[in-house]
């Protein structure tokens, strides 16, 4: 099945084009600006995008995905399929052959024991893992030799390539001396991997630095000697430092910054499609949102086209579904309506008919008031919150802005996990295979509780039999067309809850000075996914 067309726009200066034409150079240091700082770098404990960016410099998984949307082996020797015998006839057993000769950065050999240990870590209740989706269906994981892993599932698990791979990783068993309780390990902050880079320092609020891994399996990589990720307060600070050459690159610009930077001498933009979309998640444990009429009214009162046209200068599009790109995208799902009249009627019907002096609706003496939370340091989101706030006031709802730092919002024991928020604004999108992501974010068993905080990241707390059934169907067959239909049903059921409100789709927009070359954008992976190929041009 063909993937959606991938859009890539390269905006280069003439000097950059000449520098790139001269070919890669070895040596040197590059500094990159990040306007968020992670809580930790353990792939099974942290959920932030910035954590994935940084940990993937040193930690690797069995598989990854190319910019063209194809799975490739990383620590595995090949992609297991039914055709090559890697997947059994009944679809329940997956045999993974590992690459030989790979070592950890300290020189210890990478073997199947590391994959087995990683599975033990995920399933150890002492570890507050983000999700055990898929891993909990593994009946046995056997290692008949150092370079073979045999995984037997209790039922077909179609997204098997997402386990131990993509945004996860394999952990070094020898580092932990076989102790699978990693909850308080220093590894979570300073991991050691098989990847191209080794962490040399992490100064909170300042930077995290990497140097070339001398034991990396590609002897001529990385091209740079060292790589520094500098933490800055906001996109605007990062942009200013990019203009002055204080940093060589910056992650995750907003679409409205494209006109600002596309003609700046010495600055090059990388713009490509993305699976990400901005959305609102309404906490269903909030009594106000227990009434679907209120949730629907909120969605109807938000004119998403204003966000796209005024804040993003038309460089994005109104989002309609949690799946925005790839083989599982359903082009027939329509955009949600903007209908203030209908929103008012629904709120009246739900009993919010009284008004206070400020025009805020009331019911039984309670104000129609709730908070919204998103990470600080993001000017676009701050402006979007203000627009939405004004639009909701038009129907008598008072939304109070209460933002927090990203490493607080997404903490293992943070407000999302605890359900201590009203509305969250976030950007998130699925992997090439959306099955595990849909289960992580929307499946009823992924609702975290005080008794089971490690259940998953369904912080909206959607409990929908329709969503669950569709996700179950999509993961339990290898028939791609059946899976596509199942995930279409899941997407529709998620939107039908009215607790998940898609706002707008996102491009990946990254910027670099013409001092740095060798980078490529990947809609299925994170920024700096190819940093081992980066080089300084002068």
| Judgement on whether residues 95 and 185 belong to the same structural domain of the protein | yes
Looking at residues 124-151, what average pLDDT do you find? 95
Q: Which has the higher per-residue pLDDT, 9 or 192? A: 192
* Structural tokens at position 193: 């991997």
- 75 alpha-carbon distance from chain centroid: 22
Specify the residue for token string 């997407």. 491
Residue 144 lies in a domain: yes
- List the one residue out of 224, 226, 230, 227 whose CA is nearest residue 242: 230
Cα angle 17-506-300, degrees, rounded to a multiple of 5: 155
- What's the rounded Cα separation, in Å, for the pair 219 and 217? 6
| Judgement on whether residues 432 and 487 belong to the same structural domain of the protein | yes
Q: Which has the higher per-residue pLDDT, 313 or 136? A: 136
- What's the rounded Cα separation, in Å, for the pair 253 and 379? 11
Q: What is the pLDDT of residue 2?
A: 37
| Judgement on whether residues 228 and 324 belong to the same structural domain of the protein | no
| Judgement on whether residues 339 and 443 belong to the same structural domain of the protein | yes
Residue 41 lies in a domain: no
For residue 473, count CB atoms less than 10 angstroms from its CB and return exposed for 0-12, middle for 13-18, buried for 19 or more: middle
Specify the residue for token string 């989101």. 381
Rounded (to 5) percent helix, strand, coil in the chain: 30, 20, 50
| Judgement on whether residues 98 and 167 belong to the same structural domain of the protein | yes
Residue 8: pLDDT band by 50, 70, 90 thresholds? low
Tell me the β-bridge partners of 361: 355
Residue 198, SS3 per DSSP: strand
Q: Which run of H or of E encompasses 438?
A: helix 435-442
Q: What is the pLDDT of residue 451?
A: 80
- What's the rounded Cα separation, in Å, for the pair 538 and 258? 25
| Judgement on whether residues 511 and 501 belong to the same structural domain of the protein | no
Looking at residues 109-117, what average pLDDT do you find? 98
How many of the other CB atoms lie within 10 Å of CB of 53?
A: 23
| Judgement on whether residues 307 and 404 belong to the same structural domain of the protein | yes
The answer to which of 111-115, 124-128, 449-453, 485-489 has the lowest mean pLDDT is 449-453
pLDDT tens for 197-211 read 999 999 999 999 999
Residue 52 lies in a domain: no
What's the N-to-C CA distance of the chain in angstroms? 43
Residue 86 to residues 146, 161, 190, 298, Cα–Cα distance (Å): 17, 11, 34, 48
| Judgement on whether residues 18 and 93 belong to the same structural domain of the protein | no
**All residues at 6 or more sequence positions from 290 whose CB lies less than 8 Å from its CB, including other chains:** 284
pLDDT tens for 459-477 read 999 999 999 999 999 999 9
Phi, psi of 25 (to 5 degrees): -115, 145
Residue 526 to residues 66, 293, 345, 484, 523, Cα–Cα distance (Å): 11, 37, 43, 24, 8
Whether the link from the prior residue into 222 is cis, omega within 30° of 0, is: yes
| Judgement on whether residues 225 and 345 belong to the same structural domain of the protein | no
- What's the rounded Cα separation, in Å, for the pair 392 and 384? 12
pTM of the prediction? 0.87
- What's the rounded Cα separation, in Å, for the pair 40 and 123? 19
- What's the rounded Cα separation, in Å, for the pair 435 and 158? 8
Q: Are 232 and 244 in contact (CB under 8 A)?
A: no
Q: What is the pLDDT of residue 5?
A: 42
Residue 261 lies in a domain: yes
Please provide the average confidence, as pLDDT, over all residues in the chain. 93
DSSP 61: -
Q: What is the pLDDT of residue 22?
A: 57
| Judgement on whether residues 398 and 262 belong to the same structural domain of the protein | no
Residue 50 lies in a domain: no
* Structural tokens at position 453: 């905080």
Residue 54 lies in a domain: no
Question: CB-hemisphere CA count at 13 Å for 294?
Answer: 23
- Buried (b) or exposed (e) across 71-84, using 16+ Cβ within 10 A? bebbbbeebbeeee
Last residue of a domain, one of 156, 190, 224: 190
- What's the rounded Cα separation, in Å, for the pair 483 and 88? 19
* Structural tokens at position 212: 């070339």
Q: Which run of H or of E encompasses 232?
A: none
Q: For residue 243, what are the domain limits?
A: 1-36+195-274+507-538
Name the domain count of the chain: 3
Q: What is the pLDDT of residue 47?
A: 86
Q: Which run of H or of E encompasses 236?
A: helix 235-244
Q: Which run of H or of E encompasses 490?
A: helix 480-496
Please enumerate, as own/partner, the contacts of 83-89 that have beta carbons within 8 Å and a separation of 24 or more: 87/160, 87/478
| Judgement on whether residues 21 and 68 belong to the same structural domain of the protein | no
- pLDDT cut 90: percent of the chain above it: 85
Cα angle 379-385-391, degrees, rounded to a multiple of 5: 140
Q: What is the pLDDT of residue 455?
A: 81
Cα angle 216-217-218, degrees, rounded to a multiple of 5: 95
Residue 167 lies in a domain: yes
Residue 163, SS3 per DSSP: coil
Q: What is the pLDDT of residue 212?
A: 98
CATH number of the domain residue 134 falls in = 3.90.76.10
Segments in 292-399 forming alpha helices (H): 292-301, 304-306, 340-349, 379-393
Q: Are 379 and 255 in contact (CB under 8 A)?
A: no
Residue 255, SS3 per DSSP: helix
pLDDT tens for 17-72 read 555 555 688 999 999 999 999 989 999 999 889 999 999 999 999 999 999 999 99
Assess whether pLDDT exceeds 50 at residue 275.
yes
DSSP 109: B
Q: What is the pLDDT of residue 4?
A: 42
CATH number of the domain residue 304 falls in = 3.10.105.10
DSSP 210: E
pLDDT tens for 290-348 read 999 999 999 999 999 999 999 988 888 999 999 999 999 999 998 889 999 999 999 99
The answer to which of 100-104, 123-127, 134-138, 166-170 has the lowest mean pLDDT is 166-170
- What's the rounded Cα separation, in Å, for the pair 180 and 474? 31
| Judgement on whether residues 266 and 308 belong to the same structural domain of the protein | no
Residue 521 lies in a domain: yes
Assess whether pLDDT exceeds 70 at residue 392.
yes
Assess whether pLDDT exceeds 60 at residue 160.
yes
Looking at residues 250-277, what average pLDDT do you find? 90
- What's the rounded Cα separation, in Å, for the pair 256 and 243? 17
């Amino acid at each position: 099945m063909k993937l959606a067309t991938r859009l890539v726009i390269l905006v280069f200066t003439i000097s950059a084009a000449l520098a790139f034409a001269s070919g890669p150079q070895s040596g040197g240091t590059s500094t990159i600006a990040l306007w968020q700082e992670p809580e930790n770098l353990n792939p099974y404990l942290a959920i932030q995008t910035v954590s994935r960016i940084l940990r993937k410099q040193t930690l690797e998984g069995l598989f990854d995905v190319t910019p063209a949307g194809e799975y490739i082996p990383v620590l595995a020797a090949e992609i297991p399929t039914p055709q090559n015998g890697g997947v059994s006839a009944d679809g329940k057993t997956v045999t993974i052959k590992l690459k030989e000769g790979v070592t950890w950065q300290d020189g210890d050999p990478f073997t199947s024991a590391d994959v087995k240990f990683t599975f033990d870590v995920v399933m150890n209740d002492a570890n507050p893992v983000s999700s055990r989706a898929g891993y909990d269906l593994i009946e046995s994981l056997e290692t008949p030799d150092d370079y073979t892993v045999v995984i037997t599932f209790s039922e077909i698990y179609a997204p098997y390539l997402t386990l131990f791979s993509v945004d996860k990783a394999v952990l070094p068993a020898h580092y932990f001396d076989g102790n699978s309780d990693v909850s308080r390990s220093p590894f979570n902050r300073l991991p050691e991997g098989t990847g191209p880079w080794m962490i040399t320092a992490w100064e909170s609020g300042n930077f995290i630095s990497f140097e070339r891994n001398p034991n990396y399996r590609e002897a001529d990589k990385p091209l740079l000697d060292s790589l520094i990720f500098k933490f800055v307060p906001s996109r605007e600070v990062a942009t200013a430092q990019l203009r002055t050459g204080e940093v060589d690159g910056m992650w995750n610009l907003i679409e409205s910054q494209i006109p600002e930077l596309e003609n700046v001498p010495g600055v090059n933009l990388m713009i490509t499609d993305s699976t990400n979309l901005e959305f609102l998640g309404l906490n269903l444990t909030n009594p106000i949102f227990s009434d679907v009429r209120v949730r629907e009214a909120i969605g109807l009162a938000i004119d998403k086209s204003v966000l796209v046209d005024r804040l993003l200068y038309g460089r994005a599009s109104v989002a309609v579904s949690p799946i925005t790109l790839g083989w599982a995208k359903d082009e027939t799902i329509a955009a949600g309506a903007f209908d203030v009249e209908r929103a008012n009627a629904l709120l009246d019907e739900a009993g919010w008919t009284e008004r206070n002096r400020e025009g805020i609706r009331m019911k039984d003496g309670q104000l129609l008031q709730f908070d919204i939370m998103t990470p600080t340091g993001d000017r676009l989101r701050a402006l979007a919150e203000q627009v939405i706030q004004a639009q909701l006031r038009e129907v008598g709802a008072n939304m109070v802005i209460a933002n927090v730092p990203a490493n607080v919002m997404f903490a293992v024991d943070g407000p999302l996990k605890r359900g201590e928020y009203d509305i969250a604004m976030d950007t998130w999108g699925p992997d090439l295979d959306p099955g595990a992501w849909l289960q992580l974010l929307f499946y009823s068993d992924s609702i975290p509780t005080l008794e089971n905080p490690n259940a998953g990241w369904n912080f909206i707390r959607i409990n929908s039999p329709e969503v669950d059934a569709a996700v179950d169907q999509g993961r339990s067959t290898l028939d791609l067309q059946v899976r596509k239909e199942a995930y279409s049903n899941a997407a529709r059921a998620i939107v039908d809850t009215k607790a998940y409100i898609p706002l707008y789709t996102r491009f990946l927009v990254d910027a670099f000075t013409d001092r740095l070359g060798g980078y490529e954008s990947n809609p299925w992976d994170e920024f700096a996914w190819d940093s081992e190929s980066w080089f300084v041009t002068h």
